[in-house]
Amino acid sequence: MADRIAPRDDLAMMDGYHSPQVSVDVRLNTNESPLPPPQAFLDAVSAAAATTDWHRYPDRRAAALRARLAALHGVEPDQVFVANGSNEVLQTVSLTYGGPGRSVALFEPTYAMHSQIARVTGATVAEGFRGADLALDLDDVRRVIDGSRPAITYLCSPNNPTGMVESAETVAEVLDLVEGTGGLLVVDEAYGQFAPWSALELVSEDRSLVVTRTYSKTWSMAAARLGYLIGPSWVVAELEKVVLPYHLDALKQAAGTIALDFVDDMERRVSILTEERGRVDAALRELPLEVWPSAANFILFRPHGADAGDVWQALVDRSVLVRNCSGWPGLSGCLRVTIGTTDEDDRFLTALREVLS
């Protein structure tokens, strides 16, 4: 056989996204909602499937969905960009404003896809680091932004995997720094409904800020792959030029629009999960662990005197899957558990007590 073609040189060292999908009874590794959307939503989506013009391309502008999202957030439809999960939103931002010869700043530990997408799209990653308490360190933010003049700077609030929320003052200060060097600030709010405030408040036509949201977590629609961004219309217009035409299928557009008829159900799920998070947090604090306080639907913890990989495997052996974060920058020995149903969380806590005893 002739020589096999190799991928691009700059991809040669890449690992790819690593989150094993192991078949277990209790899956608490990807921060999905443990609760499905309401039956009335499923019925409406089925009806929409039956009346979709399957032989026609979908509405390329996703006008109905964008209008509803705009109304939800009190912005204009041309300030909304929708895509196949917030990962595709982030990838489109990277293709538009990142890429070869440009850098993307982020502050580890944070969501792994921010650096992954930056690298795949050819940008240089300008890495900053959080402090020992895993809070954002504004001195380091200044160092990275002044040193690399990044095209794109990422914040994530609540941050995955720490669960910490950035304050309004912090985000405003980072935005000033970013604008000072002509960059764009992306605030990833995948868990935004759990937070006490949102950077959506700061979005306006004359600020270089976009906020991303997803249907994958609080909306209980991870299977649908739908996410969006709220930002200035001049950013959205550029993203629309870059994204593939007809990238968002008709049924997904309908499902995303219908979901917005069920805001109350979504908010009820958020409050159930917030209460359940308090219960799991309290139980974890009885065990020999370091536990970080979370404002999202997951909790980061570090077993004392036990290898995180061994604990992860021992939980899998008991049919409970959590996320092993010990290979992430600054997180040696750490695991992250998603808040599930009461039953799932009890199974996790029972297994963990057994493993650590």
Ligand X SMILES: *Cc1c(COP(=O)(O)O)cnc(C)c1O
86 near ligand X, rule: CB under 6 A: yes
152 near ligand X, rule: CB under 6 A: no
Q: How far is the CB of 273 from ligand X (least distance, A)?
A: 14
The smaller minimum CB distance to ligand X, of residues 111 and 312, is found at 111
Find the length of the chain.
Answer: 357
CA distance 339 to 296: 9
183 near ligand X, rule: CB under 6 A: no
Binding mask 191-230 for ligand X (x = CB under 6 A): -----------------------x-xx---------x---
188 near ligand X, rule: CB under 6 A: yes
The smaller minimum CB distance to ligand X, of residues 111 and 348, is found at 111
87 near ligand X, rule: CB under 6 A: yes
The smaller minimum CB distance to ligand X, of residues 124 and 297, is found at 297
Instruction: Identify the DSSP state of 329.
Output: T
| Helices of type H across the chain | 39-51, 63-73, 85-97, 112-120, 138-148, 168-180, 233-242, 250-259, 263-284, 308-317, 342-356
Of 315, 324, 307, give the one whose Cα is nearest residue 349: 315
315 near ligand X, rule: CB under 6 A: no
163 near ligand X, rule: CB under 6 A: no
By CB under 6 A, the count of residues binding ligand X is 13
Structure token pair of residue 223: 């299977």
Burial 138-157 (b: 16+ CB within 10 A, else e): eeebeebbeebbbbbbbbbb
Instruction: Answer for the pair 24, 316: CB distance below 8 angstroms, yes or no.
Output: yes
Footprint of ligand X on residues 235-294 (CB under 6 A)? none
Query: In the complex, which residues of this chain contact ligand X (CB under 6 A)?
Result: 31, 85-87, 111, 156, 160, 188, 190, 214, 216-217, 227
